Amino acid sequence: MADSFMAQWVYTDTVKDHFINPRNLWKEGEEFSPDGVGEVGSLACGDQMRVGIKVKDGKISDLRWLTYGCASAIASTSMMSEMAIGMSLEDAYHLTPAMITDALGGLPEHKFHCSVLGDKALRAAIDDYLEKNGMPNPYKGTTAKIICECKGVTDQMIEELVKNGKVNNFEELQAETGCSTACGKCRDRILEELNEALHIYGK
């Protein structure tokens, strides 16, 4: 091949490194009994992640993961695992996609949802841990963002409704929550959240 032009790799070098050498992978046959497990994503969207955590003294002492997905999904989960180990449950619960993406040196815009899945799976694992141990969950709801101010509809409400199969389109969401029926200014953002949730949880 001619070498007049140097090609950049598709993603950043950090993404490449995590893609080639994924950290904390849940190896087959490995002795790892998780205290909590979370799984998000669907095959329809082409990304699915499972996260298992060990908890000690209110901190994530160890973590293993599996991902069905593209290079940025693999790298996102791998990076998330490095960041989460050693974190308090509260900090881990508030790990955001932007923090993971930043640590990876950025992801293309259309790949952003890959990093969204990593932190969602982690939260699901923490929820699972607290529930299994009969502990109160002080974090649930604390990460919600209000999307429709008039009707107080949050991103998590949308996510839950889609996850439970109660909402499959905008009309159903509107009927269920009344979102975008007052000033209507949030419509685009509601659609964005809804499409993202449908993409992750839809059939």
**Which residues are the active-site residues?**
45, 114
Q: How many CA atoms lie within 13 A of 198 on its CB side?
A: 13
Parallel, antiparallel or unpaired: strands 146-148 and 36-42: unpaired
CA proximity to 140, closest of 158, 152, 128, 150: 128
**By C-beta, is 46 or 184 nearer to another protein?**
46
**By C-beta, is 26 or 139 nearer to another protein?**
26
Read off the amino acid at residue 85.
I
* Nearest distance from C-beta of residue 203 to another protein, angstroms: 9
d(CA 146, CA 69): 29
* Residues in touch with another protein (CB under 8 A): 1, 10, 19-20, 22, 25, 27-28, 39, 41, 43-50, 66-74, 110-111, 199
User: Which residue do the tokens 């180990």 mark?
Assistant: 85
Please give the structure tokens belonging to residue 72: 């940025």
Task: Indicate the SS3 state at residue 40.
Answer: strand
* Nearest distance from C-beta of residue 10 to another protein, angstroms: 7
* Nearest distance from C-beta of residue 69 to another protein, angstroms: 5
**By C-beta, is 41 or 153 nearer to another protein?**
41
* Nearest distance from C-beta of residue 115 to another protein, angstroms: 13
**By C-beta, is 59 or 199 nearer to another protein?**
199
Q: In this structure, are residues 24 and 64 in contact, taking their beta carbons and an 8 Å threshold?
A: yes
CA proximity to 51, closest of 88, 15, 11, 23: 23
Dmax (CA) for the chain in angstroms is: 63
* Nearest distance from C-beta of residue 114 to another protein, angstroms: 8
